């Protein structure tokens, strides 16, 4: 090993260390930003070391440098623009998009290694896996981003024979991978493999409904990590292996957490066809069960004289862009000495932790955001629970067996002394069942759009107690 | 199985375990930035992109190199920038309190 090569490998080791320590610092909001910057430093080091390696080996043609720089410039500009322009509500789409290009890049890296079938089996196996996983991720993430952005229907897209098609695609990919691994393959086998994997990615995500996206995004994130690690095996590059493994672990953990938060197995989610997609729809339910409608003034009185208010935000809050209106109400209440906290369900958004980012954007301090267990310890002590845009995650029916959400961990909103729900209509949530919370005698329904309702509440609190 | 492959496999497995250990401690509040940060980290495939472009010598190779470099650069730059932007929004309680008292 030459001196340069040794130094480059040491730099890769340092970069991998930066990634691990950077992720470690993400265990608290106060150090997370520093952690991310440490991770950036590691990335710069890895790229710089690779540059040194390329210059030192001298094998890169002028055209090679040109395409590399041109590609890097185009990608950097696109990435910068997207990262700066994206609204926080669209964060899941953006993460999916970055995930797609990462997976796509990982798949493409392996192609030159397979095209001349000369390499050892120890390269061909990870190369084939890299192409399959990377291509599935690329196509799947693009479909997921399209669903989240509303370009592809958010509802589950199912058609007769979908499983047969999916099975056929998986079989085609497996055969092509087998041919390549045995060393018989050429360009044609690579093309079949990539095409089958791309189609498989589309077929995987299409049948999954919009509100299951937190699981899908997490899973695709894990896939990309694995693909990058495979690319590390192919190019014998330790920093790719370590970084890929870290991302794979992160995606796997988040996938498991999200699936547990919905009390549905990963397999059941991937089969798809569940739920109605965004907006819920469904006819007004609760045939005959009485609900108590309240006016903004009634609700404002309750809130103004409460000592402790727990806000339960859901995706509907984000959909109505009402997080700033919510924070304004909370600020008015807090200035009167009311203690306001936010109870955040793990799937209260379109990706893990999405609601926290939306609230952070509206200047809610992170110390007021409570996770499921902490929130459920606070809710019985609350004078008022204010539910905005959350539905299924507050339904007490989940504690009983025999319905669509049985066993799902919920926020115990019904244990607060009083409940106010801001909602446009009695429409169903994603699971398509009646929410028993709404017919609870202590629940007041404020029928309004989330933003209009919150603005009215804030105004009413101000006039009442000014 | 060659010694090198075995060594790489060990690195992979240990990194996976480190990942589970480290990421298991990240609070739910930070899960979106976490995912976005790990997203940026897998942009390290940029290194792979550079290696691919460095051995390119046909038109197809060059086209491939360009696409890989563009994808990877977008992934890594966009991922880190958006993560930093999000983390900048997470306010410590003290700052929020002083802001509230100003009103």
Same domain, A434 and A447: yes
Confidence of residue A115 (pLDDT cuts 50, 70, 90): low
Contacts of A319 (CB under 8 A, 6+ apart): A89, A278, A279, A389, A450
Q: Which residues of A are catalytic?
A: 392
pLDDT of residue A265: 83
If residue A101 lies in a helix (H) or strand (E), which one and from where to where? Answer: helix A91-114
Same domain, A371 and A422: yes
Task: Say whether pLDDT at A287 is over 80.
Answer: no
Same domain, A75 and A147: no
- Of A27-41, A172-186, A266-280, A385-399, least confident by mean pLDDT is A266-280
pLDDT of residue A157: 80
The CA distance from A451 to A176, in Å, is 53
Task: Say whether pLDDT at A232 is over 90.
Answer: yes
Task: Say whether pLDDT at B21 is over 50.
Answer: yes
Q: Which of A13, A30, A108, A239 to mutate to test the interface with B (most CBs of B within 10 A)?
A: A108
The answer to the question of residue A286 being in a domain is: no
The answer to the question of residue A328 being in a domain is: yes
Cα-based torsion angle of the residue sequence A372, A377, A383, A387 in order, rounded to the nearest 10 degrees: 10
Same domain, A340 and A301: yes
- Of A12-21, A25-34, A56-65, A281-290, least confident by mean pLDDT is A281-290
DSSP string, A126-151: HHHHHHHHHHHHHHHHHHHHHHHHTS
- The chain-wide mean pLDDT, for chain B, equals 88
Q: Which of A278, A308, A327 is the last residue of a domain?
A: A278
Same domain, A114 and A198: yes
Q: Tens of pLDDT along B43-91?
A: 999 999 998 888 888 888 899 999 999 999 999 999 999 999 999 998 7
Interchain contact A315–B (C-beta under 8 A):
no
- Of these ranges, A421-430, A433-442, B70-79, the one predicted with the greatest mean pLDDT is B70-79
DSSP string, B12-72: HHHHHHHHHHHHTTS-GGGHHHHHHHHHHHGGGHHHHHHHHHHT--SHHHHHHHHHHHHHH
Mean pLDDT in residue range A174-178: 88
Q: Cβ contacts (< 8 Å) between B101 and chain A: which residues? A: none
pLDDT of residue A278: 43
Of A76, A231, A352, the CB nearest to B73: A76
Same domain, A111 and A251: yes
The CATH number assigned to the domain holding A395 equals 3.40.50.1220
Of B8, B28, B69, the CB nearest to A75: B69
Give the residue from A1, A419, A63, A23 showing the smallest Cα distance to A250. A23
Same domain, A299 and A199: no
- Of A267-281, A380-394, A400-414, least confident by mean pLDDT is A267-281
Confidence of residue A312 (pLDDT cuts 50, 70, 90): very high
Q: Tens of pLDDT along A318-370?
A: 888 898 999 999 999 999 889 999 999 988 888 888 999 999 999 999 999 99
Same domain, A192 and A340: no
Confidence of residue A279 (pLDDT cuts 50, 70, 90): very low
Task: Say whether pLDDT at A73 is over 70.
Answer: yes
Task: Say whether pLDDT at B102 is over 70.
Answer: no
pLDDT of residue A283: 41
Task: Say whether pLDDT at A237 is over 50.
Answer: yes
Residues in A 26-55 with any Cβ partner in B closer than 8 A? 26-30, 32-33, 35-37, 39-40, 43, 46-47, 50-51, 54
Return the bridge partners of A308, or none.
A339
DSSP string, A429-454: -TT-S--GGGGSTTEEEEES-HHHHH
Q: How many Cβ contacts (< 8 angstroms) between chains A and B? A: 394
Task: Say whether pLDDT at A374 is over 60.
Answer: yes
Give the residue from B75, B43, B77, B66 showing the smallest Cα distance to A71. B66
The CA distance from A226 to A362, in Å, is 35
- The chain-wide mean pLDDT, for chain A, equals 88
Task: Say whether pLDDT at A118 is over 80.
Answer: no
Of B1, B4, B44, the CB nearest to A43: B44
Residues in A 208-247 with any Cβ partner in B closer than 8 A? 217-218, 221, 224-225, 228-229, 231-247
Same domain, A315 and A386: yes
The CA distance from A326 to A313, in Å, is 9
Q: Give CA angle at B29 (A453, A392), nearest 5°.
A: 50
ipTM for the predicted complex comes to 0.91
Of B41, B46, B99, the CB nearest to A47: B46
Looking only at the bridges linking them, the beta strands covering A369-370 and A418-423 are unpaired
Residue A88 or residue B102, greater confidence:
A88
Same domain, A261 and A349: no
pLDDT of residue A201: 93
The CA distance from A78 to A80, in Å, is 6
The answer to the question of residue A284 being in a domain is: no
- Domains held by chain A: number: 3
Task: Say whether pLDDT at A285 is over 60.
Answer: no
CA dihedral (B85, B89, B94, B100) positive or negative: positive
Contacts of A373 (CB under 8 A, 6+ apart): none
Question: Searching chain B, which residue's CA lies closest to the CA of residue A214?
Answer: B32
Q: CA of A288, closest CA in chain B: separation in Å?
A: 39
Distances (CA, A) of A59 to A55, A118, B50, B86: 8, 20, 12, 41
Task: Say whether pLDDT at A396 is over 70.
Answer: yes
pLDDT of residue B61: 87
Cα-based torsion angle of the residue sequence B18, B21, B23, B24 in order, rounded to the nearest 10 degrees: 160
Dig out the tokens for B47 from the structure.
């290194």
* Contact (CB<8Å) A59/B103: no
Confidence of residue B17 (pLDDT cuts 50, 70, 90): very high
Task: Say whether pLDDT at B99 is over 80.
Answer: no
Same domain, A196 and A137: yes
The answer to the question of residue A283 being in a domain is: no
Mean pLDDT in residue range A379-401: 91
Q: Which of A278, A304, A333 is the last residue of a domain?
A: A278
Give the residue from A215, A204, A194 showing the smallest Cα distance to A157. A204
A1: containing domain:
1-85
The CA distance from A303 to A463, in Å, is 13
Distances (CA, A) of A387 to A122, A416, A435: 55, 11, 12
Mean pLDDT in residue range A186-208: 89
* Contact (CB<8Å) A331/B46: no
Confidence of residue A275 (pLDDT cuts 50, 70, 90): low
- Of A10-24, A28-42, A104-118, A265-279, least confident by mean pLDDT is A265-279
Same domain, A355 and A341: yes
């Amino acid at each position: 090993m030459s001196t340069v090569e040794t130094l480059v490998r040491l730099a890769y080791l340092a970069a991998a260390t930066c990634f691990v320590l950077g992720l470690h610092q993400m265990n608290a909001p106060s150090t997370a930003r520093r952690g991310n910057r440490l991770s950036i430093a590691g990335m710069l080091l890895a790229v710089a070391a690779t540059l040194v390696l390329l210059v030192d080996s001298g094998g890169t043609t002028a055209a090679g440098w040109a395409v590399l720089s041109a590609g890097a410039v185009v990608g950097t500009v696109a990435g910068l623009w997207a990262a700066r322009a994206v609204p926080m509500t669209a964060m899941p789409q953006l993460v999916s998009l970055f995930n797609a290009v990462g997976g796509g890049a990982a798949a493409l890296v392996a192609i030159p290694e397979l095209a001349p079938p000369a390499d050892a089996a120890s390269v061909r196996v990870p190369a084939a896996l890299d192409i399959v996983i990377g291509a599935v991720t690329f196509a799947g993430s693009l479909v997921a981003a399209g669903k989240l952005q509303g370009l592809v229907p958010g509802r589950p897209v199912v058609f007769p024979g979908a499983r047969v098609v999916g099975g056929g695609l998986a079989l085609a990919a497996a055969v092509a991978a087998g041919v390549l691994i045995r060393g018989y393959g050429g360009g044609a086998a690579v093309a079949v493999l990539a095409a089958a994997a791309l189609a498989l990615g589309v077929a995987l995500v299409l049948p999954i409904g919009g509100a299951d996206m937190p699981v899908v995004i997490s899973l695709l994130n894990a896939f990309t990590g694995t693909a990058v690690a495979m690319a590390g095996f192919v190019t014998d590059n330790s920093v790719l292996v370590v970084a890929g493994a870290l991302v794979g672990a992160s995606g796997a953990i988040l996938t498991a957490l999200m699936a547990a938060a919905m009390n549905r197995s990963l397999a059941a989610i991937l089969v798809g066809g569940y739920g109605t997609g965004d907006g819920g729809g469904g006819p007004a339910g609760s045939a005959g069960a009485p609900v108590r409608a309240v006016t903004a003034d009634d609700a404002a009185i309750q809130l103004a004289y409460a000592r402790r208010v727990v806000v339960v935000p859901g995706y509907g809050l984000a959909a109505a862009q009402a997080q700033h209106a919510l924070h304004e109400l909370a600020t008015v209440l807090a200035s009167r000495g009311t203690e306001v906290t936010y109870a955040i369900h793990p799937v209260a958004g379109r990706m893990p932790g999405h609601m926290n980012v939306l609230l952070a954007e509206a200047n809610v301090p992170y110390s007021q955001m409570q996770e499921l267990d902490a929130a459920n310890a606070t809710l019985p002590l609350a004078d008022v629970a204010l539910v905005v845009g959350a539905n299924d995650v507050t339904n007490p029916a989940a504690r009983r067996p025999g319905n669509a959400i049985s066993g799902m961990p919920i926020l115990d909103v019904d244990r607060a002394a009083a409940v106010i729900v801001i909602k446009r209509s009695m429409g169903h949530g994603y699971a398509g069942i009646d929410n028993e919370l709404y017919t609870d005698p202590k629940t007041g329904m404020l029928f309004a759009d989330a933003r209009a309702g919150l603005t009215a509440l804030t105004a009413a609190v101000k006039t009442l107690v000014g | 199985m060659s010694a090198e492959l075995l060594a790489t496999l060990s690195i992979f497995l240990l990194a996976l375990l480190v990942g589970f250990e480290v990421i298991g401690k990240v609070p739910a509040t930070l899960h979106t930035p976490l995912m976005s940060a790990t997203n940026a980290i897998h942009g390290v495939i940029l290194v792979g992109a550079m290696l691919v472009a460095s051995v390119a010598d046909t038109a197809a190779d060059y086209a491939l190199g360009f696409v890989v470099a563009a994808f990877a650069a977008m992934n890594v730059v966009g991922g880190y920038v958006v993560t930093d932007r999000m983390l900048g929004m997470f306010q410590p309680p003290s700052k929020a309190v002083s802001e509230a008292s100003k009103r």
